[in-house]
Structure 1
Amino acid sequence: MAVTPTLLTREGLRKLQEELEQLRTEGRRKAAQRIREAKSHGDVRESGEYEDAKEFQAFVEGRIRELELLLADVQLIEEVEGTEVVHLGSRVRVRDDDGYEEVWTLVGSAEADPRNGRISNESPVGQALLGRRAGDRVEVQTPAGLTRLTILEIA
């Protein structure tokens, strides 16, 4: 089975690399410290503190493995300005039927962060916007219901 490359912008790549480095150093150090502290309190067989520390360590190691896999095969997305068609890396300004405007950057799922205006190309909104032009209207089924968006600008 072929591995699908992780689609990332340069900023997304930098952030994931920084997170990985932080987990390998500070995260592991903090996990080891929490385990040592829990052990210093005596019998660990029924210690909630020890179990919490081990769960934290498992989380850190799991996230490290996840990031290593994501970063093993990266395809960079260039954020291009001045394009006529929405594609990965595009910044898109849209307006809904209530007149509310938002600006989103279309990114790969590994760096999606909707609260900060970075939506995945795999999300319903991202899929609806791909390949569209300024002036196009799209309809998107979201958990909140049917949403209609007008593409105002592609940068």
Structure 2
Amino acid sequence: MTRDYITRTGWQMLRDEADHLWRTRRPAVVRALADAAAEGDRSENAEYIYRKKELREIDRRLRYLGRRLDELVVADARPDDPGRIFFGARVTLIDDAEREHVYRIVGADETDAATGAISLNSPVARALLGRSAGDTVAVTLPGGLAEFEILAVEYPG
């Protein structure tokens, strides 16, 4: 059985989302649903139907977050060798076209292409694990084989 890792920041973001849904969003939807139900005929009440659906979606997300937060393992310890790439590392690479890329290796629940947060299970992250600055790695991507040189490895926070 493999473990699902997450950074402390990623875990806190999921926890904050669950808290927001439970303490703020859900009560507001329940109030709106009660108001819509008080209007009478529910079978043709669009507001009532919409709020019921919205409440189901919130409850579904809360169930998912509750299960997920219990399953995740927070990995926030710094590695013994901070010069090598492990979970949580921010890695600066350069490709064949001399373009620089900065990635942070994170858990699957916190990936974000816009910020360069890539999953530990992605092809790029798997190829980088255990490597150091100065190493060259070849990665099979959907567009074909790509080579990257590792310029820097750091562990934020």
Partners of 1:79 and 1:89 within 8 A in 2: no
* In structure 2, distance between residues paired with 1:124 and 1:141: 7
Change (3 A) 1:36 1:130: same
Corresponding residue number in structure 2 for 1:21? 19
Deviation at 1:138, TM superposition (A): 2.7
Aligned to 1:107: 106
Cα distance in 2, alignment partners of residues 12 and 42 from structure 1: 44
The correspondence of residues 116-135 of structure 1 with structure 2, limited to 5 A, is: 116-135=115-134
Deviations along 1:63-104, whole A, 9 cap, x unmatched? 111111111133221263862221111111112222221222
Identity %: 33
Deviation readout 1:125-148 (Å, 9 max, x if unpaired)? 2222222222223333444x1243
1:67 to 57, 60, 65: 65
* Whole-angstrom CA distance in 2 between matches of 1:12 and 1:6: 12
How many correspondences in the alignment? 152
SS of 1:12's partner is helix
The 5 Å alignment of 1:4-153 reads 4-78=2-76, 80=78, 83-143=82-142, 145-146=143-144, 147-153=146-152
- Name stretches of at least 5 consecutive residues in structure 1 with no aligned partner: none
Q: Secondary structure at the match of 2:43?
A: coil
Which 10-residue stretch deviates more, 36-45 or 69-78?
Answer: 36-45
TM-score normalised by the chain length of structure 1: 0.82
Unaligned runs of at least 5 residues, structure 2: none
1:107 Cα deviation after fit: 1.0
1:49 alignment partner AA = E
Q: CA deviation at 1:112?
A: 1.8
TM-score (structure 2 length as normaliser):
0.82
Name the CA shift for 1:148/1:38 in 2 (closer, same or farther; >3 Å): farther
- Identify if the C-alpha distance between structure 1 residues 39 and 83 changes in structure 2 by more than 3 Å, giving closer, same or farther: same
Contact 1:28–1:60 (CA<8 Å) still a contact in 2? Answer: yes
Find the aligned partners of 1:49 and 1:37 in 2 and give their Cα distance. Answer: 9
